[in-house]
Amino acid sequence: MVIMSVAPSSQTFQPVLERIADEIGRTPGRGRAADYIPALAACDPRSFGMAVAGLDGTVYGVGEWRRPFSTQSITKVFTLALDLAREGDELWEHVGREPSGNPFNSLVQLEYENGIPRNPFTNAGALVVTDRLQTRTGDAAGELLSFLRAESGDPTLDFDTEVAASEAAHGDRNAALAHFMASYGNIDNPVPVLLDQYFRQCSIRASCADLALAAGFLARHGVRADGSRLLTRSQAKQVNAVMLTCGTYDAAGDFAYRVGLPGKSGVGGGIIAVVPGRCTLCVWSPGLDERGNSVAGVAALDRFTTLTGLSVF
């Protein structure tokens, strides 16, 4: 096996992606699609797409890299960035920055930590961030959608009403989390309003190309596609750090060990990853492992960092 020993120029991304897609296509055992959200259960777990976006917006891709899929928890990165840009460090008084070690929808830690979620990527933490963005904008989900459309250059991005309705119909655990945190004064908006915003947020459909482009501000140290600044360099570092330590549910340690990049997964089968100063990636394959991460997606990112030498370590 030949492994590149130095980081490649962007021109080498396409053959690397093609090699990864070929290897993934020959790999048996690709996990199961999320079945607790009925609208996602019908996805073929062997579907696969992957895209890499350079700092200049050039995108390389393989497989079904332009096929929209349900972004789910990937959107938590963007709502975090949008709220952090507005309120700065005050946000961290309401949500922590530590790995949870528990499932993403767990209630366990909230009681003995006085309604303060462990990090912004658990469901509880994401509800707090969405709530705070809702207070500041009046339409958190709409603000998120506008941002994703602008950064991806794709005005067709939209909510999936079927997925949002499906999540609302099976959203008792999220409602319990929101009510519990509200009892500690850590939720500002009426819980039904917050849940509607949160389910719409998670229902957004986007492709690997869209998400790789949309996450580019994290590789550009906080600078948006149009050259304006969303986050300070320090804030972009903060978001990337929390992604590295908390972005893949309670498998973040294994992801950091295998991939070595800040990343955020979603139960729709997508994962975004950031190489600061170089590029952003998105991979999609809906077959999940027992912790809710894409089996093929993690494997593909592992191969990408191995073949290119691109890593934060």
- Among 198, 207, 265, 285, which one carries the catalytic annotation? 198
* CB contact at 8 A, 224 and 151: yes
Q: pLDDT per position in the chain (313 positions), as tens?
A: 333 334 455 457 999 999 999 999 988 777 888 877 777 888 888 999 999 999 999 999 999 999 999 999 999 999 999 999 999 999 999 999 999 766 666 777 888 889 999 999 999 999 999 999 999 999 999 999 999 999 999 999 999 999 999 899 989 999 999 999 999 999 999 999 999 999 999 999 999 999 999 999 999 999 999 999 999 999 999 999 999 999 998 899 999 999 999 999 999 999 999 999 999 999 999 999 999 999 999 999 999 999 999 999 9
pLDDT on residue 108: 78
Residues written for the chain? 313
pLDDT on residue 4: 38
Q: Is 45 helix (H, G, I), strand (E, B) or coil?
A: coil
Alpha carbon 286 to its chain's center: 14
Find the DSSP H helices in the chain.
13-25, 38-41, 75-87, 108-112, 123-137, 140-152, 161-169, 172-183, 191-203, 208-214, 216-219, 233-246, 252-258, 295-308
* CB contact at 8 A, 230 and 144: no
pTM of the model: 0.94
Radius of gyration of the chain (CA): 18
Q: How many whole angstroms separate alpha carbon 155 and alpha carbon 146?
A: 9
76 is catalytic: yes
- Among 60, 100, 249, 285, which one carries the catalytic annotation? 249
Alpha carbon 26 to its chain's center: 26
| DSSP classification of residue 8 | P
228 is catalytic: no
Q: How many whole angstroms separate alpha carbon 301 and alpha carbon 280?
A: 11
249 is catalytic: yes
pLDDT on residue 1: 34
CB atoms within 10 A of CB 56: 10
73 is catalytic: yes
pLDDT on residue 6: 41
- Among 267, 274, 275, 295, which one carries the catalytic annotation? 267
257 is catalytic: no
| C-alpha distances in Å from residue 251, one per residue of 8, 33, 224, 258, 294 | 28, 18, 29, 11, 11
pLDDT on residue 14: 97
| pLDDT digits 0-9 by tens, 104-113 | 667 778 888 8
- Among 59, 76, 95, 152, which one carries the catalytic annotation? 76
The sign one gets for the Cα dihedral 7, 312, 267, 186 is negative
Cα distance from N-terminal residue to C-terminal residue, the chain? 22
Tokens of 232: 């300070």
- Among 60, 62, 70, 73, which one carries the catalytic annotation? 73
